[in-house]
Amino acid sequence: MTDPRTIVLTGASRGLGLALARELIARGHTVLGCARDHAAVAELAASHPAPHDFAAVDVADDEAVAAWAGRIVAQAGPPDLVINNAGLMNDPAPLWEVPAAEFDRLMAVNVGGTVNVIRALVPAMIAAGGGVVANLSSGWGRSTAPEVAPYCASKWAVEGLTRALAQELPRGMAAVAVNPGIIDTDMLRQAFGDGAASFSSPEDWAPRAADLFLGLGPADNGTAMTV
C-alpha cells in the first residue's frame, strides 16, 4: 500500500467518481470530494465521515470552488493529489443543432471547472512543495466522433491545458491528462445508449484506476495516460 494521501476528487457522487472515491477510501486514503447533487453528497458524507469530506459544489462556479478549497485546505492541508473528474456529455447531435446553452454549460464544467479547481488548489500545493494534478480526459480528447463535438472540444482543451500547466509547475510536481477508458456509466449511455452495457462497470474499473492515480509522480509531468 502507498502511504496515506490526501486526495481531492470532483464529480464524486456518481459513476467513475463514486467508484473511485470508495476504492481510495478502502485503501486508507483521505478523500475530499465534491459534486452538484446535494442528496448524493449528503449520503456520501454520512457513509464516509471525517477525516473524509464531501460537499455540494458546482465546479463551474469559481467563487464556490474557491470557498470550498479554502475550507478543505484549512482543514486537511494542501492535497497530495487532485483528480479533476467532474464532467458533462452533450446529447448526441450535429454540432449546429446543439443549443448554445447546452454547449456553454458543458464547456463551463468540463474546461472551466477544471481550471477553477486548479486555480483554487495549486497555489497551496506549490507552497507545500509538491503534488499531482490529474485531469480526466477521454478517448475523445485524442480522437473525434460525430455528434459529440462539444464533448470532444472540451476534452481536447483539457489535454492542451494540462500540457501547458505541466510546463508552468515547479519541479517536484506533475500535471497529467488521464483517459479513463470506455466505462459503462450514465454519461456513456447518453452517447452509446444500451450499447454501453458491453463495457466494464465503474466498480471493475476503480481498482485499476486507483493504481494509476496513486502511482503518479513528478516523473509523469506532462504525460498523457490511459487507465
Q: Is 216 helix (H, G, I), strand (E, B) or coil?
A: coil
- As a whole number of angstroms, the distance between CA 23 and CA 210 comes to 7
* Bridge partner list, 55: 34
Instruction: Give φ, ψ of 54 to 5 degrees.
Output: -130, 130
What one-letter code names the amino acid at 123? P
Max Cα–Cα distance, the chain, nearest Å? 49
C-alpha cell at 32: 475530499
**Residues noted as catalytic:** 151
Residues whose CB is less than 8 angstroms from the CB of residue 104 and which lie 6 or more positions away in sequence, other chains included: none
CA gap 77, 91 in Å, rounded: 39
State yes or no: cis peptide before 51, omega within 30 of 0.
yes
Q: Give CA–CA dist 196/138, Å, rounded.
A: 15
Tell me which DSSP letter residue 200 carries.
P
